[in-house]
Structure 1
Amino acid sequence: MSPLELVERYINRAANARDADSLTSLRWRGLGAIHALHASGLLSDVENDDALNLFVDTCSARHTELAGTSDDSEGGAL
């Protein structure tokens, strides 16, 4: 598996996280993996920047989606 495929896998996992706790755990593991790939020379500076930006944006978007889902669930219970 290439380094960019590994990054893509983390991004896809973040996009499909089932709950906030798993997303938080995945966020830390993904950031660590991307930094490690860059530090070992497997990602260029540009690839690293792009990967980090996309990963963080994906995590933020999914967090917003999950927060909206939990708000909807609570609203329906009343």
Structure 2
Amino acid sequence: MLLILAFMTFISTISCSESGGSEEITSGSNSGSNCPTKTCGDFATRAQAQAAYNSNKSCYKNLDADGDGIVCESLK
């Protein structure tokens, strides 16, 4: 059981290592992974946020509050 948990953690870390761009990696809700901590407030437009989300949906899943694939719906 412990081996399975360790393997799943390892796979999760690998999947977020390709976050794209040269964004600063910060700790926070994604600590322990290579996913940048971003919120909708970090983007000027919804198009920018959507591009980041599309580049790595597992890392930027917090941008899609209702899970419909459209991120930061409050941005224009």
Q: TM-score range by the shorter chain?
A: 0.3 to 0.5
Instruction: Name which structure has the greater RCO, CA cutoff 8 Å, separation 6+.
Output: 1
TM-score by length of 1: 0.35
